[in-house]
Amino acid sequence: MQFHPFKFISICSLSFRNLLQHRLRSALSILGIVCGTMSVIAMICIGEGARQKTVAQIEQLGIRNIYIKALPLSETQKQKAGDRLSPGLHTGDAERIEKGCPYVSETACLKEIRASVMGLNADISPPIAAVSSSYLSVLNLSLYQGRFIRDLDIQNKNPVCVLGYRIAEKTGAKVHIGEWLRIENKIFTVVGILRQTAQKREENAAISVRNCNEMIFVPINMPDMEKDLTEIIVQAEHADRVVLSGKMTERIMEVSHHQVDDYQMLVPLELLHQAQKTRRIFTVVLSAIAGISLLVGGIGIMNIMLATVSERTKEIGIRRAVGAAKTDIVFQFLIESVILTSLGGTAGVVVGIGAVRLLAFMAEWDTVINLFSVILPLSMSVLAGVFFGLYPAWQAACMDPVSALRHE
């Protein structure tokens, strides 16, 4: 068939008029497609939102990092740990890992301290963490003002502290670099303020992200701070080495802790893989649902197109008599079914975006609406139109023109 834009437009407008003649029928027949595209768009937006959230959380934990967290022990476990001379997490573990594992570039230690800060507004009691100097680089934090804790502070037992951004803000900017802060019965000098990090409040099921904005950091320099650490963060030199480093670290920890399970290892990269696996299952299930609804919708379209074809048998005969070839007839009915499904697809996308927005607003789910999430369901609906319109259109084209003309 030769393609002429004005012919194409006239066929389209004619098809549109045909559909408008049976408004209710057309509207009802596209309901299935509307539901199908709606579920596709919802699937993509919700899935993508969940993915981005997980990725962001895990990136915050550090993709190259391995977390070793201390576990609270029961009495019998404490007894066992004592018997086997396991000292719990301590800075020595970090040193041993750094020495023993060639792919580890850095380690950082953190110990949460329960202490109250004096001289602040009564309603804030920020968590305090004693950390090693590498904590800043391992967690990829940056400074807003001043400096972070240095090795020298730890060696010399300097009473200095670094504030999270929100803490610095909450103290009404009273506390600046060089100010003093009293923690329990010691005076600390503020040497730095951290830059604000984009912190999400939600907690990952497996691991919680520390909110550095709300924390005070002090050097890990008191003798009693070196043992019973809260966590050690091990950083591999490259993301490819994380799994291997994790295995080596695990072995080192097993040996030095005499197989006492007083710690737990978490690898964000593995969590990411796990999340991806879960998401894949989620995607498969939702794709199946979307596929089934598109299939049902498509069958609805096919049904209505078959009815249209038999209703318009005479028209087909007339068109054949004035010179329409079989392909012209196929084209005409295909256009009609594609217009139907495209209308359904567009309606589905509009309703779907509305539903996703509503869900994001009401249930506070993370959703992402991007170009892909609009184009995919739209093109699927167009394809459904072609696929399910083809048989009725072909049937129309194969009609014998003479008997079609006689049809009443």
Task: Select 96 or 326, whichever has its Cβ closest to other proteins.
Answer: 326
- In angstroms, give the least distance from the CB of 314 to other proteins: 7
Binder of other proteins out of 141, 222, 318, 350 (CB under 8 A) = 318
Is residue 257 at the binding interface for other proteins, with CB under 8 A as the rule?
Answer: no
407 binds other proteins (CB under 8 A): no
Query: Could you tell me which stretch among 15-23, 30-38, 47-55, 347-355 binds other proteins (CB under 8 A)?
Result: 15-23
> Judged by CB, which is closer to other proteins: 87, or 401?
401
- Among the listed residues 264, 256, 259, the one whose alpha carbon sits nearest the alpha carbon of residue 97: 256
Nearest distance from C-beta of residue 22 to other proteins, angstroms: 11
| 36 sits near other proteins (criterion: CB under 8 A) | no
Q: Which is nearer to other proteins, 6 or 205 (CB)?
A: 6
Binding of other proteins by 315 (CB under 8 A):
yes
Judged by CB under 8 A, which of 152, 285, 321, 375 binds other proteins? Answer: 321
Query: Contacting other proteins (CB under 8 A), which of 124, 288, 358, 402?
Result: 402
141 contributes a contact to other proteins by CB under 8 A: no
Q: Which is nearer to other proteins, 316 or 347 (CB)?
A: 316
Identified binder of other proteins from the candidate list 27, 115, 177, 324, rule CB under 8 A:
324
According to the binding rule CB under 8 A, does residue 319 interact with other proteins? yes
**166 counts as binding other proteins under rule CB under 8 A:** no
Binding part of the chain for other proteins, among 4-12, 77-85, 104-112, 370-378 by CB under 8 A, reads 4-12
The minimum distance between CB 334 and other proteins, in angstroms, equals 15
In the list 10, 116, 259, 370, the residue contacting other proteins (rule: CB under 8 A) is 10
Given 156, 274, 327, 370, the residue binding other proteins (CB under 8 A): 327
What is the sign, positive or negative, of the torsion defined by CA atoms of 313, 319, 325, 330? negative
- Give the binding-site size for other proteins (rule: CB under 8 A): 28
Q: Which stretch binds other proteins (CB under 8 A): 16-24, 68-76, 95-103, 198-206?
A: 16-24
Q: Is 185 in the site for other proteins (CB under 8 A)?
A: no
**Near other proteins by CB under 8 A, which window of 114-122, 178-186, 230-238, 396-404?**
396-404
SS (H, E, C) the chain: CCCCHHHHHHHHHHHHHHHHHCHHHHHHHCHHHHHHHHHHHHHHHHHHHHHHHHHHHHHHHCCCEEEEEECCCCHHHHHHHHHCCCCCCEHHHHHHHHHHCCCEEEEEEEEEECCCEECCCCCCCCCEEEECCCHHHHCCCCEEEECCCCHHHHHCCCCEEEECHHHHHHCCCCCCCCCEEEECCEEEEEEEEECCCCCCCCCCCCCCCCCHHHCEEEECCCHHHCECCCEEEEEECCHHHHHHHHHHHHHHHHHHCCCCCCEEEECHHHHHHHHHHHHHHHHHHHHHHHHHHHHHHHHHHHHHHHHHHHHCHHHHHHHHHCCCCHHHHHHHHHHHHHHHHHHHHHHHHHHHHHHHHHHHHHCCCCCCCCHHHHHHHHHHHHHHHHHHHHHHHHHHHCCCHHHHHHCC
Do the bridges between strand 104-113 and strand 263-266 make them parallel or antiparallel, or are there none, so unpaired? Answer: unpaired
Residues that bind other proteins (CB under 8 A): 2, 4, 6-7, 10-11, 14, 17-18, 21, 314-315, 317-328, 400-402, 405
